[in-house]
Amino acid sequence: MMTIYDIAREAGVAASTVSRVVNGKPGVKEETRRRILALLEKYHYSPDAAARGLVKQSTRMVGILIEDIRVSHHIESAFVIEQELTKRGYCSIIMGAGAEEEKKLESIRLVEQRRVEGVALIGSMFSGEAVQRGIESYLSRIPVVLVNAYMELPNVSGVVIDEEKGVESCMELLHGRGRKRIAFVTDQETPSNRRKLEGYRRKCREYGLNPEPLIYRVGERSVEEGRRMTERLLTEHPETDGILYSIDLIAAGGVRAAVDKGYKLPEKLALMGIDNSIYGEICNPKLSTLDNRRYDSSVIAAELLRLGMEEGIRSQRRLLPCRILERETT
């Protein structure tokens, strides 16, 4: 049976271009559109028929790949997806993929060998070229769902959290409480963190604040690195009266550092994390955070994967807003 990828190769275009034609979307030159339509007719291509072919010899197995098993919200997301699909009679294979692109590619190849019927990829780093090659090479005949990422491929859906707008809301909250020097402590370079930083920079410019000197990056994701970097920030910029952290894990270290240095929270210094994880709950004082709705996004991802496996639902992109959860540090 011909797939969209087979059609794309013969037409000399990207699979996403064929997907646009199949789904009646704009943005394709008329000559290219006619060439693709001719091939679709030639090979009697039907997306519904392709979807039905996926489930003729059902294994009821799904693959769940996690970007970083050290990150609590990645583990929580995998757990929720696994539980939701278990209710529907599916069995899950859960694997850690690692940070390097080639390791992700190898993980995709390995999970395909388990004869899975669908795959969930958890983490914004599942959006690079190697991952796209892996999906096109090994997973083109089954539905794939990305959690906090998206790529325009015919068999790929994505649930994206609007963290950029979420960070803007955090900045508005802090600025509205009279904070004038707000810093941002981030961790590794990821698409998710780039979106967060864009929201931070945009609000800094709006408030007449130069953001670059107040952006600090930890060497690794850990409480200790968060503590160490916060101590350095407050030493180099003692006028700082608000700090945003890219994840609660390093924010927990920030709370410890601020308390140890004698800061009254939130009277003198306001702190906020992102992701609403257990680390915010166990801080003393408890950490205010941006809830990026990991549970909700995981439930939606599980349902999109189920629909893709059972009903051949086409590629979708869902954008979820964040919400602020205030505790004791703002």
Same fold, 4-42 and 60-161+294-322: no
pTM, to two decimals: 0.80
Measure Cα distances from 189 to 20, 77, 197, 277, 285 in Å: 31, 21, 10, 20, 29
Asked if residue 35 has pLDDT above 80, the reply is yes
Residues of the chain with pLDDT > 70, as a percent, come to: 96
Residue 192 has what pLDDT?
Answer: 94
Mean pLDDT for all residues in the chain: 92
Q: Which fold has domain 163-291?
A: Rossmann fold (3.40.50)
CA pair distance 276, 148, nearest whole angstrom: 15
pLDDT in tens, 267-290: 999 999 999 999 999 999 999 999
Alpha helices (H) in the chain, listed in sequence order: 4-11, 15-22, 30-42, 47-54, 72-87, 101-112, 129-138, 163-176, 191-206, 223-236, 248-260, 278-282, 294-311
Asked if residue 52 has pLDDT above 70, the reply is no
- Per domain, the residue ranges of the chain are 4-42, 60-161+294-322, 163-291
Instruction: Tell me the mean pLDDT in the region 225-243.
Output: 98
Residue 102 has what pLDDT?
Answer: 87
CATH architecture assigned to 4-42? Orthogonal Bundle (1.10)
- Give every strand in the sheet of 215-217, ordered side by side: 215-217, 182-186, 242-245, 270-274, 288-291, 323-325
Superfamily of domain 60-161+294-322, CATH level 4: Response regulator (3.40.50.2300)
